[in-house]
Structure 1
Amino acid sequence: MDSHSARVGSLAEFFLVSSGSRDGTIVHHDVRAREHKVSSLSGHTQEVCGLKWSTDFKYLASGGNDNLVNVWSAISGGVGTNNEPLHVLNQHQAAVRALAWCPWQPNILASGGGTADRCIKFWNINNGSL
C-alpha cells in the first residue's frame, strides 16, 4: 500500500486501516477495495506516532511528535474523516503516543505525553475540555 513519503509509525483499524507517518499525514485505506486509498489528512507538523478510533467509530484521535492531539470526526457512513480536526488539543509538553477511548463513555479520550510531559490527560470530546 503505497501512500506515504516516509515511514509509517502508527496504525488504527476498523474496516478502514488508518496509517500515520513521519511525513505528518494520516491515510485511510479500505482494504476491501482494489483502489484502497480513501482519503488523507494533514493536521500534524511532525510524525504521527499515535492513532486510535473511538469505540463507536465516530472519531479518530491522532497524536504527534508536535505535542498535539487532533480529534477528527468521521464522515457519515464511516468512510474517511472530515479534512479539518474537530479539536486540536495542545496541552501536552512532549510527543503524544498513547491514546485510549473510554469503553463506556465514547466521548472521553485519554492521551499520554512523553518523557518531558509524563502525564495522562483526559478530554471531553463533546466540547474539547480537559
Structure 2
Amino acid sequence: MTSTLIWIAVVLFAVGLYLSWTAGRLDRLHARIDASRAALDAQLLRRASVAQELATSGVLDPAASIVLYEAAHAARQAEEEQREVAESELSQALRAIFGEVQQVEAVREAPGGDEAATELAAA
C-alpha cells in the first residue's frame, strides 16, 4: 500500500514537473511572438512614415504622390487585424511607383530624393 502511494506521488511529481516545464516554454514562446510582432509593427510604421514623407516631398508626380500617400496613411492607421492587408497595399503602391529604374533615378536626381530613396530602401 505504501509503495503504491509512493509511486503515485512520483508520477504526480513527474507530471507536475513536465507541466511546469511546458508552461515555461509556452511563456517564452509567447514573449518572443510579442517581441516579433512589435518589431514588425515598428518596421511597418517606419516604412509607411518614409513613404508618406516621400509622397509629400514633391519629388514624385502628383498621381504617384496621391497613391503613395493614401497607401502609407492607410498602413499607419490600420488596426492590428488589418495590418497585413495594409502592408500588402503599401508594397503594391511602392512597386507600382518604383517598378521602373527610370522612376527611381528621377527620384534620386531630385533635391533630397537620394536621401529619401535610400531611407525608403533601408525601411
Q: TM-score range by the shorter chain?
A: under 0.3
Task: State the structure with bigger RCO (CA 8 A, min sep 6), 1 or 2.
Answer: 2
TM-score by length of 1: 0.23
Q: Whose Rg is larger?
A: 2
Which protein has the bigger strand share? 1
Q: Of Structure 1 and Structure 2, which has the larger fraction of its residues in helix?
A: 2
User: Structure 2 length as normaliser, TM-score?
Assistant: 0.24
